[in-house]
Amino acid sequence: MAKAQICDLQQHLEVTQNLAKKRKNDSMERSPLTDRKINVETVADSNKNQAQRSRLPQPSLKRMRLNTTVDNIDPAVVVKKSVCSAASASSKGVSSRPSIGVRSQYGVGLARAIHGTEARSRAVNCAATVAGVIGKKPRVAVTAPSIVQTAAVLSCLGLPAVGSKKRPAWDLKGQLSDMKVQLGNMKTRVCEYTSKLEMSELQSRQLHESMDQRDKQLDAARAHINELQSNLKAVELLLKDREVELAKCQDENTAMQGVLENKLKMKEMELTQKVTCIEEQQSTIAEQRDMIVERDERLHCAEQERRRLHNTVQELKGNIRVICRVRPLLDSEREGLSEIQNVQFSASDEKVIILTKSEESHTGHDRKDEFKYDFSFDHVFQPIATQKDVFEDISQLVQSALDGYNVCIFAYGQTGSGKTFTMEGPDDMTCDTKGMIPRAVDQIFSTAQELKTMGWTYKFTASFLEIYNETIRDLLVTKPEKNVEYEIKLLNNKSKQLHVTNLKYVTVTMKDQVHNLIAMAKANRSVAKTAANDHSSRSHSVFQLQIEGSNSDRDLQCTSTLSLVDLAGSERLDKSQSKGDRLREAQAINTSLSCLGHVIMSLSSKESHIPYRNSKLTYLLQNNLGGNSKTLMFVNLSPLEENFSESLNSLRFANKVNNCVIGTAQVNRK
Ligand code: ADP
Ligand code: MG
């Protein structure tokens, strides 16, 4: 940019300089100032030529000499002075002015006549000639101009002489008159020259001023050029520095490029290695996937085998099993008793329980007969057994419910023997004391979660009811509507599944939801208990969890129901003392419990007709008792001696059940 600007300026300057030169030359050609450079000899030379070209009559030197001599006039002195003044003014470069060095009339006229190059040359020539002629005789004194001399001067000035005819010498008057006319003409011509001279002087001054301006401009332009040149030099220096830097950068770039190329090569090699590694890993992954699929298949087979074996074990144990549990003495019952008196356990065998009773001997007053009643069950839990211990024994049965088997667990025993404690837990339930129902729910949900990895998904539906005096009440409804009828019916003709009309079936997805339902049922039972005085001990409560499992990967479905039943107290009422409602309650309980016994016996003896419909309880549990289900009965005992006979009755009932072999359970699988 800067360079281009400088070039432009230089070009402009050159053009300006040329223009100035040209104008100067022109003005020099035109200006009278040019005369400054013309010396008198040159003027004289050029005047010779001019004289040759001039049409004016040339004065004869001879005549002039003659006239000078005759008339004693000394015009040469005047002319010489005028010419010298004019020449002096010209050589000094000052324009000739009429005032400079001109004192005589002729000098003024001559000086004024010197206007314009041509006229001036002629005047100078003439004056020089005159001066040259006169110079030869400088000592001649001239007092007055003669007519001849005047004519010579006029001739020198290029003015025509008046009258073409030469007047005779004696006609002085005529000659004087001619001279006057000539003088007038001369004056006119002199005026013209003067005005022309003034014009020239004005032009000259203007040209001078213009030239001064041009000079100034030229100086300014030169200064600008100098400045630009110094700038250019600075820029060139900067440019050189930059070029050096650029060269450095290029070297660095080249070096860097080399390093980067090396790095790139390294990375490419690494990438190639990694790609190879990834390919290897992908093939390994593919192999492992195949192995996983194979293992899944094996796992599935193993799971199926486990279920089969598990249920075979359950079958071997018997599809109906009995567990006996003796509750500990309550704080209020410990007065006077340090330990349980009439219940004994075998140290070596966890399946045995012995009831003892000493009675006065019929043979003598001193002897007391000791009566022992031995019973053997799947497991006998002593009072110290915890809820956890007990649940461990039934957890495999709960597992069967997820495998698609109907499972029914119920607690049988007299009021206060610990049925509700075992099934639900105490009122102030903790994590340690929670009963079989909440534990079964926990296990079901955690196992269902584990089975998800094997493709199983489950849907759970919970219901909670009680049967009192052969009437069903929904424990999940706090304020039941009046005259609502709960009837047990087949869900549809195809399936054997039963359901209770108007009963609330709640779909549950988390165990906590079920715990809340259990708490609600417990609260609803307590309200009834207050209203009807120990109502709960004379009603059966039934918690049911319907399980629907599906394995979409293998197109498998299974349905089952887990029923957990807290039966009414099995104590027998003295019929002779029972009247009204109490009698009806007792009869209802007796009916349903004896019905339960009959159903189990009938199943055991494989009778063609099983009397399920004889009680609401057996009808409701129809699918959970018998061939297609696994049943477990808790027989709960009170440790108190006063409850001996009820305990004995319970153990006898349990023993009957325990001796039953109820068909082979079948999985409900499609
Ligand atoms: P049921 O339901 O058979 O009438 P409960 O379950 O109400 O009997 O038990 C009666 C009392 O005995 C309750 O106070 C209960 O807390 C207590 N109880 C029952 N079994 C146990 C046990 N295994 N450990 C501690 N207390 C128990
Ligand atoms: Mg109870």
Could you read off the pLDDT of 32-47 as tens digits, one per residue? 444 444 444 444 444 4
Residue 508's pLDDT band (cuts 50, 70, 90)? very high
| Residue closest by Cα to atom 22 of ligand 1 | 327
Residue 134's pLDDT band (cuts 50, 70, 90)? very low
**Mean pLDDT across the chain, nearest whole number?**
77
| Residue closest by Cα to atom 21 of ligand 1 | 327
Distance CA 103, CA 486 (A): 165
So what's the pLDDT on residue 602? 87
Distance CA 51, CA 348 (A): 177
Binding site membership of 415 for ligand 1 (Cβ less than 6 Å): yes
So what's the pLDDT on residue 62? 43
* Least-confidence region, from 179-188, 361-370, 537-546, 623-632: 361-370
User: At residue 221, does pLDDT exceed 60?
Assistant: yes
Q: Which residues, other chains included, contact 57 with Cβ-Cβ below 8 Å and sequence gap of 6+?
A: 155, 160, 161
**425-456 as b/e: b if 16+ CB within 10 A:** beeebeeeebbbbbbbbbbbbebbeebeeeeb
| Residue closest by Cα to atom 10 of ligand 1 | 416
CA 490 – ligand 2 centroid, Å: 29
Which residues sit opposite 546 in a β-bridge? 461, 561
What atom of ligand 1 comes closest to residue 421's alpha carbon?
6
User: At residue 469, does pLDDT exceed 70?
Assistant: yes
Q: Which alpha helices (DSSP H) does 31-74 contain, by range?
A: 40-53, 61-71
Distance CA 435, CA 428 (A): 12
Distance CA 110, CA 186 (A): 10
Give the ligand with the smallest distance to the CA of 418. Answer: 1
Binding site membership of 426 for ligand 1 (Cβ less than 6 Å): yes
| Total count of residues recorded for the chain | 670
Q: How many Cβ atoms are within 10 Å of 386's Cβ, its own excluded?
A: 11
* Least-confidence region, from 95-104, 310-319, 531-540: 95-104
pLDDT (tens digit per residue) in 247-276: 999 999 999 999 999 999 999 999 999 999
- CA 202 distance to own-chain centroid: 85
Q: What is the mean pLDDT of residues 382-404?
A: 92
Give the ligand with the smallest distance to the CA of 522. Answer: 2
Kind and range of the H or E element at 634?
strand 629-637
Where is pLDDT greater, at 23 or 321? 321
Q: What is the mean pLDDT of residues 144-164?
A: 54
**299-318 as b/e: b if 16+ CB within 10 A:** ebeeeeeebeebbeebeeeb
Residue 200's pLDDT band (cuts 50, 70, 90)? very high
pTM above 0.95, yes or no: no
Q: Which of 323, 327, 410, 640 to mutate to test the pocket of ligand 1 (most atoms within 8 A of CB)?
A: 327
So what's the pLDDT on residue 664? 54
CA 2 – ligand 2 centroid, Å: 111
| Residue closest by Cα to atom 23 of ligand 1 | 327
Q: Which of 389, 421, 638 to mutate to test the pocket of ligand 1 (most atoms within 8 A of CB)?
A: 421
Range among 43-52, 437-446, 452-461, 537-546 with highest mean pLDDT value = 437-446
